[in-house]
Each structure stands twice: as structure tokens, then as C-alpha cells.
Amino acid sequence: MELVCIGLSHRTAPLGVRERLALSDTRQVEVLQRLAQSPVEVLWVSTCNRVEVYLSAPDAMAARDRVVEELQSLGGAEARDHLYEHRGEAALVHLFRVASSLDSMVLGEAQILGQVKDAFERGQGAGAVRGELTRACAAAFGCAKRVRTETAIGRAATSMASAAVQLASKVFDGLKGKTVLVVGAGEMGELAARHLQQAGATKLFITNRTLARAEALAAEVGGTPRPFEELFSLLTAADVVVCSTASPVPLFTRENVGAVGKARKGRPLFMVDLAVPRDIDPGVGTLEWVHAYDVDDIQKFVADNAAARAEEAHKAGVLVAQEVARFVKERALREGMPVLARLRQRAEAIAKAEVDRTLASLGDGLSDKQRKSIEAMGRAIVNKLLHEPTARLRAVGPEGEGNRLAGAAAELFGLIEQEAQVAAGLSEDLAPQAATGAKR
Amino acid sequence: MSHSLVSLACHAYGIAAVVYLAYLVRQSEALAMAGRVLVGGGLVLHGVALFELLDVQAGRPVGMAQGFSTLAFLLLAIFLALDVRYRRPVIGAFLTPLAVAVLLPGLLMHGGQSPLPPGVRQPLLPLHITLALLGLAAFAVAAGVGVMYLLMERQVRAKRFGLLFSRLPSLEFLDTLNRRLVVWGFIALSITLATGAFFVTTTRGWAWDGKSIATVVAWAVFAALVNARIFAGWRGRRVALLTMAGFCLVLVSFLTSYEPASSAAAVMRMP
């Protein structure tokens, strides 16, 4: 089984490409079911800044090619040029870094972990994430938790929403007395609403296609819910608009925003688009009284903040490396060597020990030729003895009956106890806390 | 005496300009305070010098040198008032160099003053001149703020988040400040125009010379600007540009006041 990660992110691909690859939940499940046919496992992580596919498969290259094809058919030929790829341990490191928010546009922002967890749950629900990826994700989440608690990276983190508020303060002299409109009551919308509220926005309107969600969020943050049909009359009154809907086409275009211009009497309008695909058409920003920002603009804005947190990022990077090393070791241990190889290794070790003992007791009187004969005899006994079980185990294969036979062999030859001993010794080395926990 | 005081004040302003430019790069409260103290100190020295002169001349700054000197004084006085009121020291980075640029030619031209002819002792003349200079200073500050607005707007539109973007005040603040300054400047300009017209018509009759044309056109520009702001919701970029254009016209009218052939000089020479 090899782990591969293929994807594109804010680092490699422009917003235009990313938004074509932003699929709805149901479409993601469709794609997952198409790609993840046993034994292939697939995790599809999709946020406004990245689309990444993690896969685990015995024939990783074939699975990889299918994923690339899929990404290309969704995102167009252009998407291929922006793809990056990590394999094996590098893919693990990447997954851990993404979950720990070290690869985020806003370094250390907390949202990404939730998004990866969502992707994980969706994958499990669709049957695309099974044993191998489940373990990798669990370890990545553990790593993210360590990064969050042991470094200061999350503490100073400005989310996209707070960056949006900072940008608004360059257009308006504070948000006091300003009317804010939040379009889309999802997680982003909620964050934005909270930040704007904190920044002193006086009137906060929340609208959503499903009014109930707008009402729920409004009750939580102290805003006024409004039906989605009022969008443009709300726009006339607003000073700041933050949108983050899942709409596949832009809600705001140069025409429909321009139409409210007269009623606004030239009042400036600050619009932030946190959605991918975009809710605000790029043409809107060309209106004289509109200042429109999309997620890429915000990335440019927060680039400075990211630099300031470089040191914490370094610390966090060390943590990630530790966690990856731990995971890799545990995996090697878990997968172990197949029963056959272990059996052979065991038998060869016994034969070698006995041969050595015999040679030692016979002393120096033996010629080289005699020595070699005795060694050859030891190997021959092992080979002859193991020939039949080897052939039988190979014949039945790894699944079902083979599993039972291998288990029996492991038990008969005492291979399981050996593994347990090694595991105990290793886990004591690696995780003293876990070991003490077990003793208690 | 007064000249050396003004020169001292000019040095204080010059250092303040450097301090404020440093503030632009490295924002620190200490620099802002240093700039404030330097400008304040300079204004005291400058004020004493101007007071001495005006006392001698019965309340009239005479000659272009003193006109410039008074203009620089008023400009920085307005800045200091704004700084105390709004605490946006970064404006100083734009206004202190402007004030030094206005004051320097005055200092270099020193010595060109002539005693005032006794016949011009119009009781309203000091008011006319003071308001004219005050209005000019308000427009100068408004134009400076307009430059800041245009710079900031360019950063905001181009999404360039550099030094200026992080240091300059918000667009709304700059626009509001521009509006207040233009309204006050416009009131001062209106009174100046009215009193000036009164002098001219009572002494030698109205004539469309360079000065009166420039002043009337500038007044018309600002009248249109104030109207467009209030009634048509104009703001932002075009207002900033118009403010700068209007300031240039007022400046022309100010400069032509000192031409021998101009009406003000004519007024002053009237027996």
C-alpha cells in the first residue's frame, strides 16, 4: 500500500481553476465512489483554498492516473499544470501539515482542521476511507492538536474573516454605525458575522437561501435575519457585504450591483467574497464606488502576517516531523512482515544459531569445506521443512482461507507473542505517557 | 529679530518633516510626539515673529514673503489642530514638507518688504487678508489630504498592501476630512471675495484682471464642489482631484495679489 497525494492549492493554482474543482458535497461523494473501488482508498479534501486527493492503493500509480484524469475532466486541461504530487512519507507530511494549518493561506487558522475532518467523515460515509487512510487521518488530527496546544501559531492566527475586517477598516473609518450584510450563513458566514460584530458593526443583516439557517445564525450572533429575496434591497442599505454562499454562479454582477448605485447616492460599498466559486463577479470591482476583494486578494493581504509567524511555523514543522516519524514506525510495526517471511526469518535464525553452536563445539579442526557443508545442511533443513507450508500459504492467497491458515501458522510457531514483545518495547520508547497509562 | 525667529521655526518644521517621514516608515508613538512638539514649538516662535511684524504693519502681512510665511504658519496650525483632534500623525508626513516648501521661498525673499502706504487703512483689510490666507491654508491642507486619498485609493484598488496601505488612514476618514476642510475654506473664500469686491468697487471700480478672474473661477469651482457633495453625493476620487484643481486656482489668485498691476496692490497704492 502506498500513500499518494495529488492536488492544487492557493500556492499553485489561481482562483479561476480552484473554483472549477470546488464540488458540492453530493458530487464529491459521486466522485469518491467512482474512484475508491477496493482496495483503493480515497480522501477528497476540498476547501476554498485547495483541492487535494489522498489515495492509498497497492498499485498507487494506476490509481494516481485515474485521479489525475478525474481532476482534469473537472478542472479542464489547465488544471493539470497546477497539480502537485507527494508520495509515501512526503504525502503523509503534507497531510499532517494541511491538518495542522501549516499550509493554509492564513497560517494557523483553525478552520482547516474542521474541513479535513469533514472530508474524512464524508469519505468514511462513502466507504472511500477505510483502514489505511483512517489511521493516517487520526494521526494527522492528533498532530494538529499538538501543534495547536504546543505552539503559539493558532493564537495570533487571523482567519480570513478577521483579515476581511482589517481590509474593511482601510475603506471605512471603523465599522461603528455601518450596515453589514452577511450573505450565506455557513461556517464562513458565521465567522465573518462574529468578527464584524466584534469590530463594532452596528446593523448586521444575515441572509441565506434557507431562511431558517439565517435565523439560527442571527439569533446566535445578534443580527437580523432577512429572506434571500430581499438581497438587492439589502445591498442598497449595506456598507459592507461579506458573502460565502455555495452558489455555483456569481450572485453579484456588474449589472445587478450597478443597478443599486443610484439609490445609494455614491456611498462606497465594501464587498468581500469568501466563497469559492466566487459569489462576486470580478467586474463588480470596476464600479467606481465599489471595493471588492476575493479570497486571493485576502491571501495577498495576509502574506505579511504569515511571515511574522514563521518562527512558530518552524516549531510546528518539527512537531509534524516527529508525528510523521511516529506514524511511520507504528505502521511498519502493524503491517509487520507477512507471516511467511516472519516464519522463514524465525526458522533461519534458529538454524543459524544451532549451526554456530555445533561449529563452535567442533572446534578449529574443521576444514573450510566441512564448515560450509554443515552450514548448507542447516539451510537445507529449513528450506525442505518450510517448502510445503510456503507453497500452501501462497496458493490460497492473502484473503479468507489464507488469512485463517496464516493465523494458524503464526500461532503454531509462536510468532504472535514475538510481535507483541517487540511492540511493547517500541511503544515504551516512543510514547512514555501511553506506556504509563497502560500500567495504571 | 523676527527673521531669525522664523528661520528657527523653519528648522523646527524641517526636523518635524523628517520625523514625520520616519513615522510613515516606522510607526511609533515617540516619533509622533516628537513631531507634535517640534511643530508646536515652531508655531510658537513663528507666531511671535509674525505678531511683531503685524504689530509694526498694523495687522497686514505685506509682500509675498510674509504672505508665504503666514500661509505656512496657518497650514501647520490647522495640521496641529487636526492632529490633536483626530490623532492621525501620518498626515504630518504630507503636510510638514509642504509647509517647509511654502515657508522657504518666503525666508529667502526676506528683505523685500516696503512700508505700507498710509492711504490703505481700510478697517476691513486685515480681515480680508487673514481670511484669504486662512482659506488658502485650508485648501492647501485639503489638497494634501486629497493627495493622500488618491494614493490610498490606488493602493486599495490595485490591492497593493504595501507601506502606504498599512499607514494611511482609511478612505472614509480622508474623504470626510477633505469635505470639512473644503467647506471651511469655501466659507473663508466667500467672505474674502465679498470683502475684496467691496474694496475694489468702492475705491476704483470693478475690473476683470487676472486676480479677480482666478478668484471668481476658484470660488465657482469650490461652490460646484460643495454642491455636488451635498446634493449629488459626489465623493472620493473626483472630489480629491477637483480639490487639487481648485487649490491651484486659489494659489494663482494669491500669487497674482502681489503683482504690481494686480488689484490688491492697486488697492494698497491707492491714496
Task: Express each pLDDT in B142-159 by its tens digit.
Answer: 999 999 999 999 988 988
The cell for A177 is 454605525
Which residue among the candidates A48, A137, A143, A243 is catalytic per the annotation? Answer: A48
The cell for A1 is 500500500
3-state secondary structure B90-144: HHHHHHHHHHHHHHHHHHHCCCCCCCCCHHHCCCCHHHHHHHHHHHHHHHHHHHH
Q: Judge contact between A74 and A20, C-beta under 8 A.
A: yes
What residue in B sits closest to A285 (Cα-Cα)? Answer: B157
**Distance separating alpha carbons of residues A175 and A428, to the nearest angstrom:** 56
Residues in B touching A176 (Cβ below 8 Å)? none
Residues in B touching A264 (Cβ below 8 Å)? 233
A387-391, B96-100, B258-262: lowest mean pLDDT where?
A: B258-262
Q: Does residue B234 sit in helix, strand or coil?
A: coil
CB atoms within 10 A of CB A396: 14
A267 and B233 within 8 Å at the Cβ level: the answer is yes
pLDDT in tens, B68-87: 888 899 999 999 999 989 98
pLDDT at position A119: 93
What residue in A sits closest to B174 (Cα-Cα)? Answer: A173
pLDDT in tens, A179-213: 999 999 887 888 888 888 878 888 899 999 999 99
List, in sequence order, the alpha helices (H) in A36-88: 60-75, 77-81
A171 and B232 within 8 Å at the Cβ level: the answer is no
Q: Give the DSSP H/E element, type plus range, for residue A138.
A: helix A131-150
**Does any CB of chain B come closer than 8 Å to the CB of residue A437?**
no
Mean pLDDT of the A387-404 span: 70
The residues, ordered by sequence, that sit 6+ positions from A145 with a Cβ below 8 Å of its Cβ are none
pLDDT at position B185: 94
Domain ranges across chain A: 2-156+309-333, 160-305, 338-390
Most confident of A155-164, A173-182, B195-204: A173-182
Residue A368 pLDDT class (50, 70, 90 cuts) = confident
Q: Judge contact between B245 and B144, C-beta under 8 A.
A: no
**CATH architecture group of domain A160-305:** 3-Layer(aba) Sandwich (3.40)
pLDDT in tens, A89-124: 899 999 999 999 888 876 777 788 888 999 999 999
Q: Does residue A125 sit in helix, strand or coil?
A: helix
pLDDT at position A205: 94
The residues, ordered by sequence, that sit 6+ positions from A399 with a Cβ below 8 Å of its Cβ are none
Find the CB nearest B170 among A169, A265, A304.
Answer: A169
Task: Identify from B82, B150, B154, B159 which residue to disrupt to test chain A contact, counting A C-beta atoms within 10 A and taking the largest count.
Answer: B159
pLDDT at position B4: 83
Find the CB nearest B165 among A170, A173, A267.
Answer: A170
CA-closest candidate to residue B61, choices B126, B134, B138, B135: B126
What residue in A sits closest to B231 (Cα-Cα)? Answer: A265
Q: Is the dihedral of CA A136, A140, A146, A147 positive or negative?
A: positive
Single-letter amino acid code for the residue at B1: M
pLDDT at position B109: 66
The cell for A260 is 443599486
Mean pLDDT of the B117-121 span: 51
Residue B175 scores a pLDDT above 70: yes
Q: Is A98 exposed, middle or buried (0-12, 13-18, 19+ CB in 10 A)?
A: buried
pLDDT at position A75: 86
B233 and A170 within 8 Å at the Cβ level: the answer is no
A268 and B232 within 8 Å at the Cβ level: the answer is no
Residues in A touching B159 (Cβ below 8 Å)? 293, 297, 300-301
**Does any CB of chain B come closer than 8 Å to the CB of residue A176?**
no
Residue B244 pLDDT class (50, 70, 90 cuts) = very high
Cα distances from A49 to residues A104, A160, A387, B81, in angstroms, run 8, 11, 56, 47
Length of chain B: 271
Residues in A touching B237 (Cβ below 8 Å)? 288
pLDDT at position A79: 87
A266 and B172 within 8 Å at the Cβ level: the answer is no
Report CA Rg, chain B: 19
Q: Give the DSSP H/E element, type plus range, for residue A332.
A: helix A310-335
Residues in A touching B169 (Cβ below 8 Å)? 173
The cell for A210 is 434557507
ipTM: 0.81
Q: Does residue A42 sit in helix, strand or coil?
A: strand
Cα distances from A170 to residues A175, B32, B83, B155, in angstroms, run 11, 21, 19, 10
pLDDT at position A412: 77
**Distance separating alpha carbons of residues B70 and B130, to the nearest angstrom:** 9
Length of chain A: 440
Most confident of A145-149, A430-434, B60-64, B209-213: A145-149
Mean pLDDT of the A275-285 span: 90
What residue in A sits closest to B167 (Cα-Cα)? Answer: A170
pLDDT at position A428: 37
Fold of A2-156+309-333: Beta Polymerase; domain 2 (3.30.460)
A172 and B172 within 8 Å at the Cβ level: the answer is yes
Residue A227 scores a pLDDT above 80: yes
B152 and A170 within 8 Å at the Cβ level: the answer is yes
pLDDT at position B118: 47
Q: Is B136 exposed, middle or buried (0-12, 13-18, 19+ CB in 10 A)?
A: buried
Residue A8 scores a pLDDT above 50: yes
Residues forming beta bridges with residue A44, ordered by sequence position: A53
The cell for B246 is 481648485
Size of interface A-B (CB pairs under 8 A): 46
Structure pTM? 0.65
Q: Judge contact between B13 and B101, C-beta under 8 A.
A: no
pLDDT at position B144: 93
Single-letter amino acid code for the residue at A319: L
Residues in B touching A301 (Cβ below 8 Å)? 159, 161
Single-letter amino acid code for the residue at A368: D
pLDDT at position A403: 62
Residue B200 pLDDT class (50, 70, 90 cuts) = confident
Mean model confidence pLDDT for chain B: 83
Cα distances from B228 to residues A260, A266, A267, B193, B235, in angstroms, run 19, 11, 13, 21, 8
Which strands, in side-by-side order, build the sheet including A41-46?
Answer: A41-46, A50-57, A2-9, A84-87
Find the CB nearest B161 among A265, A266, A301.
Answer: A301
pLDDT in tens, A30-47: 999 888 887 899 999 988
Residues in A touching B172 (Cβ below 8 Å)? 171-173, 268
Q: What are phi and psi of A243, to 5 degrees?
A: -120, 145
The cell for A208 is 441565506
Find the CB nearest A171 among B171, B233, B234.
Answer: B171
Q: Is the peptide bond before A14 cis (omega within 30 degrees of 0)?
A: no
Q: Judge contact between A240 and A204, C-beta under 8 A.
A: no
Alpha carbon of B173: minimum distance to chain A alpha carbons (Å): 5
**Distance separating alpha carbons of residues B144 and A104, to the nearest angstrom:** 40
Q: What are phi and psi of A355, to 5 degrees?
A: -60, -45
B170 and A266 within 8 Å at the Cβ level: the answer is no
* C-alpha A346, offset from chain centre: 40
pLDDT at position A158: 54
Q: Judge contact between A140 and A94, C-beta under 8 A.
A: no
Residues forming beta bridges with residue A280, ordered by sequence position: A252
Q: Judge contact between A43 and A137, C-beta under 8 A.
A: yes
* C-alpha B269, offset from chain centre: 26
**Distance separating alpha carbons of residues B124 and B199, to the nearest angstrom:** 9
pLDDT at position A290: 93
Find the CB nearest A173 among B165, B173, B232.
Answer: B173
Q: Residues A332-364, buried b or exposed e (16+ Cβ, 10 A)?
A: eeeebeebbebbbebbeeebeeebeeebeeeee
pLDDT at position B256: 76
pLDDT in tens, B224-234: 999 988 888 88
Q: Judge contact between A10 and A49, C-beta under 8 A.
A: yes
More confident residue, B190 or B67: B190
A266 and B156 within 8 Å at the Cβ level: the answer is no
pLDDT at position A416: 58
Residue A226 pLDDT class (50, 70, 90 cuts) = very high
Question: Does residue A48 have an active-site annotation?
Answer: yes
Which DSSP letter does residue B170 get? P
pLDDT in tens, A347-367: 888 898 999 888 888 877 788
More confident residue, A135 or A300: A135
What residue in B sits closest to A166 (Cα-Cα)? Answer: B166
Most confident of A235-244, A391-400, B56-65: A235-244
**Does any CB of chain B come closer than 8 Å to the CB of residue A262?**
no
Task: Identify from B82, B152, B161, B225 which residue to disrupt to test chain A contact, counting A C-beta atoms within 10 A and taking the largest count.
Answer: B161
pLDDT in tens, A310-334: 667 788 888 888 888 888 877 765 6
CB atoms within 10 A of CB B151: 16
**Distance separating alpha carbons of residues B144 and B168, to the nearest angstrom:** 13
Residues in B touching A289 (Cβ below 8 Å)? 236
Q: Judge contact between A126 and A82, C-beta under 8 A.
A: no
CB atoms within 10 A of CB B191: 17
List, in sequence order, the alpha helices (H) in chain B: 2-25, 29-56, 63-86, 92-108, 125-158, 163-167, 171-203, 210-232, 237-256, 263-269
Which DSSP letter does residue A224 get? E
Percent share of chain B, pLDDT over 90: 41
The residues, ordered by sequence, that sit 6+ positions from A413 with a Cβ below 8 Å of its Cβ are A343, A346
Tell me the Ramachandran region of residue A265: left when phi exceeds 0, alpha when psi lies from -120 to 50, beta otherwise.
left
Residues in B touching A291 (Cβ below 8 Å)? 156-157
